[in-house]
Amino acid sequence: MSPLAHIEALLPRYQGVIRREEPMARHTAFKVGGACDLYLAPESLDDLCMAVATLSREGIPLIVVGGGSNLLVKDGGIEGAVITLAGLDTTLDEEVAGETVFLTVPAGIKTQRLGRFAAQKGYAGLNFTTGIPGTLGGALAMNAGTTPVAFEGILDALTVVDRSGEIHTVSRHALTLSYRHLTIGGKDRHDEAFPIIVSARLRLTRGTREALMTERKRLLKKRTQSQPVHLPSAGCFFKNPPQGPSAGKLIDDLGLKGETHGRAQVSPLHANYLVNTGGATAADIIALATRVKERVKRRHGIQLDEEVTLVGKEA
C-alpha cells in the first residue's frame, strides 16, 4: 500500500489539516494549478516537524509553500505532498537594545501584516516590504525586496527545519544572500533538500511611527497606480537582468503590454506582470512567458530568467 493511502496512521499526534487531491488553484496568487496528492497545513511547529520527518522517511516528495504568491503550479498538479506554513502565524517577539530592535517573527505571518506592525510600533527597516504579497517565509526564501533594498539588509538569523524534521538556528554569516536568492548550507529554494524556514530574527532600528505610516501610505498608493493589484498574478514574473534595463522596460519596449495567450495577459499597467484575466490555465501563462522570453532574446539578445517558481507536471 502506498504511504499516501495511510498517512493519517503515520501521523498519530498530528493536529493540523490533511486533505487529498487538493486543487492548488485555491492556494496560489495566480489562481491556477492542478491538485496535489496530499495537502497539509500544520497547526504547530511540532506538527510540522512530525509531518516532515514522516514524509521524508516514507520517501514522499514534499513542497513547502507560504502564501503561494511567487508560485506557478502546472495544470497536472503536484505529485506527493504540499505543506503550507500559512497557519504558523504565532506571536512576534520584540527585543529592544538602544536604537536597535530585534524582531523574531514566524514564517507564516503575512508580509503586509509584518510591515504594518513594524511601522505602527515605530520600527524602521521593513517599509520596503510595502505591497509585497505572501508570507515572510516565502519572501525570505527568495530574498524579496524592492530595488535596491531586500531582506538581506535586515536578516540576523533563521530558524529552520531540515528534511529529517530537526530544528536548527542558522546565523546570518552562515547564509548567502544575493538578488532574489538565498542559500542555506549550499542549497536554495529550487533544491529538494532546502531547509524549511519557520522563523526569522530581524534587525531593525528605532524610527517615528508617523513618518513610517506616511511612507507606507505613499508606497501603497504608488503600487496601486503602477501595478495590476486587482488581478491574479505572481508579481514580477521575470528577474531583472544583471546589467541594462529592467525586465519590465525590455518587455515594454517591444510593445508587448496587453499581449495575450488564452486568458493570460501581459499587464497593460506593468509589463513584467503576467496576469490571469479570468479562467487562465497554467499552460496559458507558461506559453505567454515563453513568447515574451523569445521576443526579448531575439530583439535585445538578453535571456530573461523567471523570478516565479514553477512546479508540478503537465496536464
Backbone angles phi and psi of 205, in degrees to 5: -130, 160
* Residue 211 near residue 217 (C-beta atoms within 8 A): no
Alpha carbons 280 and 73: distance in angstroms, whole number = 12
Pairing between strand 273-276 and 264-266? antiparallel
Spot the catalytic one: 49, 201, 259, 307. Answer: 307
Spot the catalytic one: 201, 216, 236, 259. Answer: 236
Query: What amino acid occupies position 76?
Result: G
Spot the catalytic one: 116, 180, 189, 201. Answer: 180
Quick one: cell of 158? 533563521
Pairing between strand 309-311 and 71-73? parallel
> Is 307 one of the catalytic residues?
yes
Query: What amino acid occupies position 129?
Result: T
> Is 49 one of the catalytic residues?
no
> Is 314 one of the catalytic residues?
no
Write the CA distances from 116 to 21, 108, 209, 294, 314, integer angstroms. Answer: 35, 15, 10, 40, 39
DSSP assignment letter at 227: S
Alpha carbons 2 and 6: distance in angstroms, whole number = 7
Write the CA distances from 215 to 102, 103, 125, 205, 210, integer angstroms. Answer: 21, 21, 12, 16, 9
Active centre residues (catalytic): 180, 236, 307
